[in-house]
Structure 1
Amino acid sequence: MAGMGAVPATQSFLAGEKVTASKLTAATKTPLDFLMNPPRCGVFAATGIPCANGTSTLITFDSESWDTDAMHSTATDTSRITINTSGQYLVTFYGRFPSNATGYRQLNFRKNSNGNPSGGSTMSTIALAAVNGSQTFVTRTFELNCMSGEYFELFATQNSGVSLTLDPGQRVTGMEFRWLGN
């Protein structure tokens, strides 16, 4: 169901109008099919992303868990999830840093930033103190109103004093979007 672009409109029936298969499909099946499989996209880094000390790093995503609306490409602009169907989305982003007790770990979620950590608009930032003796998992989930054509990227920053590599894997370092409604 790639490239939906818009929520399907329902069809009305006029009093006395004959019910046809095509009109009944447009009135019920098409909108229900959309609601049963709404626009959604889950991407992740299958390989570790090196993050230099004190430098904001653009996270690229080389793998997809799902993508029902052509929101991500594994070949072009792999850091982006692009909205094709406007509406309210449930957004989750996350990254796991390896064990290191020094400093903080931060993820900055930006709109239309063109790969620039100070470009576009910050939509959400979360920073946590490093966890001593364990990995530091940074995550946030929230609802966001999105317009068709907007795209979102994720930047990681850490200040451990050394370069750290974000842990790879599905549900380890990635982003997820799910359309909720208009």
Structure 2
Amino acid sequence: MTEQEVRRYLRQMKEENSEQAFHGFYDLCYDRLFRIAYYFVKHEEWAQEIVLDVFMRLWEQRAKLPEVKNIEDYCFILTKNASLNYLEKENRHATLSTEQLPEPTDRADSPEDTLISEELFARYVKALDRLPERCREVFIRIREEKQSYAQVAEELDISVKTVDAQLQKAVTRLKESLLV
């Protein structure tokens, strides 16, 4: 996602009420926002619903979006908050028997640990977005979707060695981005 492309779409959405620009913005940002929502809710259907709600909100706020200084962070926070709100709503509606309740843990994460974890995840998502498309696709399929090298090679019509090379390239670049 390049800042220039996003800004162009946001301007068109505001000035022209352009649904076409909105679709371009959607295509550019959907995968990233889906990964953020999925990180929090751990359910594909819930994450999809959350991201669609976030995009509805963005469309409704299209007149204000060009003034947002960091649209990437703004979208991250919107998606994170929507995910946490969704989880809270789901937890309120869930009726758990005592057998289904999780065992209490000795130590809950401190607010500082939670904040550090969320900041690190945000940096990871940004670093992942900066990878070349094929590299990112291989990394996501193997590390997040748990596909085998052979499965990825077959689906992308590339060799297993290419899959391995792309994965190593992705890991190296992600390490460099995250350790800065």
TM-score normalised per structure 2: 0.21
Larger radius of gyration, structure 1 or 2? 1
Higher relative contact order (CA 8 A, sep 6+): 1
